[in-house]
A and B are shown apart, each in its own frame.
Chain A
Amino acid sequence: MKPKFLDILVNPNAFFKEAMQENINLKIPALIILVAAVIGAVYGYVYGGLTAELMSTGMPGLETVILAFAVIAAFVSVFIFWVIWTAVIFLFSAVFKGKGTFKRTLEFVGYGYIPQIFGSLIAIIIALEYIPRVVIPHITQATLQDPQLMQDAIKSLTHDPAMLEFTQISAIVTIVFLLWSANIWIFAIRHSRELSVRDAVICVMVPVIAFIIYLVYNLTVM
């Protein structure tokens, strides 16, 4: 019996149990990551527009470069993070004497990115609502040459009320969909590395909670 695609979201245990019967196939996970990367690139374009506009007042013509960099970085980083995240979970599972190949783990972790697609779409909608309301500080050539002034400019941007609200809401959205992904990754690692549920939870939740703490910490130090 072939696993239903919807099971990834609502019954990941059953999905991965069935998927273990199949050969390793990275095409579908890669396609999911590609979709997530494209959406991430769009988000990078919207969010990078802020930085581009900030810098363009001091260095006219630079906004295109910044935007291009933001889009490419957002696109590529999803793929890179997929591999890194799989490696982290893979290493954690090694502590619990996990079996199975890295390739299988990479495949199953890729399925866990589906909630991230929804999360990114919602983040884009929120960004389109809030970012136009952000007041971007005006910087000059002198500002660019003074690190303290540049730091003040970025601080002014990040402390804009609309920006603060956007950052906080997007952080909550990220946490919610990250936990949804974590739920999928728990069963993914359980089956791909042949772990108990408890060990799989620990393998996934330790880095996930660490990431959430890091996310919240960044908000507090803004």
Chain B
Amino acid sequence: MKKSIIISLFSFLLLIVTLTTTATAYSTPDSIVAAGKVYVSGITYDPAVFFPGDTGTVTIQVTNGNNNSGVVVNHATLSDKNIRVTSSPYDSSSTIGPGQTRDFTFSIIADGFVGTYYPVFSLSFRDADSLFDREMVQIDDTPIEFTVVDKPDAFAQGKKKTIYMQVANPRKNTIRNVILDVSGTEVNPSPSRIFVGDLDPGMKTPVNFTVSPDTETTANLTVTYSNGDNPHVITTSILLNFGADKKEANPVVSNIQVKPDVGFFHITGDVNNAGLETANTVMVTALSPAVPQDPYKCYVVGALKPDDFGSFEVTFAAANTTSVPLQLSYKDADGNVYNSVQDVALPKSGMSSQTSGGSNLIPVLAIAGIIVAVFVGGWIVYLRRAKK
């Protein structure tokens, strides 16, 4: 028993001596010098700046600065208490040739709070000591900015209105796949989904869409984007309330003059835009009971800027009526058509009054008859008296 214990103890000591002798067998001054010329030449975080909880990768580039000797590395790892490494460390031996660069990529999760961290990269050489390197990484929770640039004061049922938005990136890294989704009950957005794409740091891009609400409702705006491979979302909403738009175009018809033509009426007038927005494709025409006639069945005034005016003339036939409705229509910037109707009194002449002449003659005939009768009667009486 005692003999076997002595043999085992001897064997263990022999093994230790053997291993120790093997390990230090390649650690020479030359290999140490060679390892000293190996350095971290680059480091790339994806994403460049993390949100708290984001996953990503870090790629560390190690370059062998020697001209004629390679180095053998056999272990690489990354460690930090706020940056959790989820991938395995590099455990196998490999050689980095002279002048060559090798990437070491680790998957990480930004477990820490907002701040700046310095994970430690460690690389072990077979024939020399290890290489240590600290590289900065930031965790930032600043979201992208999604703001309303301009929108109508009020909306109208079924009328298309444009909402002008803007997406801006206040972060220090590029965000990708920015997409805007517009939704809501009876909002009828167009388009309902807008792909913006990548957004570089400090950059902004306009995002416009239209809504045609059927009722007073709320438009829900959702912007999704990716920070690296991590999806993020911000949401906002816009109340679509109905009412009069204070800035909308307001064409007003004035200086109306009606002239009866042969077989039809001829109306001339002016249209002034009393609103604050441009009235596009302003048109004037007469409605029933008027029947529009050539040459001006419908007069296109064109676009009227605020405080601008244009003249129009329309021709139409109208029988047995004292007034006709004059319709003025225009389009706003979104193509919505607005109509306004105002009655225009017709002069009592032309075709409508041609039948009224006969009845007015009755008193004239009566008066003429009476005058002649009195005159002739007077003479008859005079002659009879003269005869007597």
Contact = CB atoms under 8 A, between A and B. Distances in A.
A138 B379 contact: no
A159 B353 contact: yes
B184 interface: no
B155 to A, nearest CB: 44
A26 interface: no
Contacts of A175: 368, 371-372
Interface in A175-222: 175-176, 179, 182-183, 186, 197-198, 201, 205, 209, 212, 215-216, 219-220, 222
Interface stretch (A61-69, A115-123, A148-156): A148-156
B260 interface: yes
Contact of B361 (A168, A176, A212): A168
A143 B262 contact: yes
Contacts of A201: 379, 383
B364 A172 contact: yes
Contacts of A165: 360
Interface stretch (B30-38, B112-120, B121-129, B343-351): B343-351
B88 to A, nearest CB: 96
A152 B262 CA distance: 6
A150 B357 CA distance: 19
B367 interface: yes
B358 to A, nearest CB: 7
Interface size class of B (residues with CB under 8 A): 20 to 34
Contacts of A179: 371-372, 375
B364 A171 contact: yes
A135 B350 CA distance: 9
Given A161-B349, A219-B364, A137 B260 contact: yes
Nearest to A176: B371
Given A137-B260, A152-B263, A159-B356, A171 B368 contact: yes
A205 B376 contact: yes
A139 B259 CA distance: 10
B261 interface: yes
A161 B348 CA distance: 6
Interface string B354-384: 1011101101110110011001100100110
Contact of B367 (A156, A161, A172): A172
Nearest to A152: B262
A142 to B, nearest CB: 9
A137 B350 contact: yes
B1 interface: no
Greatest chain B CB density within 10 A among A138, A150, A176, A220 is at: A138
B262 A137 contact: yes
A138 B259 contact: yes
Nearest to B380: A201
Interface string B259-271: 1111100100000
B383 A216 contact: no
A83 interface: no
A35 interface: no
A171 B365 CA distance: 10
A159 B263 CA distance: 13
Interface residues of A, number: 37
Interface string A119-141: 00000000000000001111100
A34 interface: no
A137 B382 CA distance: 50
B262 A216 contact: no
A137 B376 contact: no
Interface string A26-55: 000000000000000000000000000000
B6 interface: no
A72 interface: no
Given A197-B383, A201-B379, A212-B372, A135 B349 contact: yes
A219 B361 contact: yes
A171 B364 CA distance: 8
Contacts of A155: 354
A164 interface: yes
B9 interface: no
B17 interface: no
Contacts of A137: 259-262, 349-350
With most chain B CB atoms within 10 A of its CB, the pick from A150, A165, A197 is A197
B347 to A, nearest CB: 5
Contacts of B368: 171-172, 175, 212, 215-216
A160 B349 contact: yes
Which of B259, B347, B354, B368 has the most chain A CB atoms closer than 10 A to its own CB? B368
Given A139-B261, A171-B368, A156 B349 contact: yes
A139 B262 contact: yes
A135 B260 contact: yes
Contacts of A152: 262-263
A159 B354 contact: yes
B5 interface: no
B386 interface: yes
Interface of A: 135-139, 143, 149-150, 152-153, 155-156, 159-161, 164-165, 168, 171-172, 175-176, 179, 182-183, 186, 197-198, 201, 205, 209, 212, 215-216, 219-220, 222
Q: Which 3 A-B pairs have the closest CB atoms?
A: A160-B349, A168-B364, A153-B262
10 contacts: A135-B349, A135-B350, A138-B259, A139-B262, A152-B263, A156-B262, A164-B357, A168-B360, A175-B372, A209-B376
Given A149-B263, A159-B356, A171-B368, 9 more contacts: A135-B347, A137-B261, A143-B262, A156-B262, A156-B349, A161-B348, A182-B375, A197-B382, A219-B365
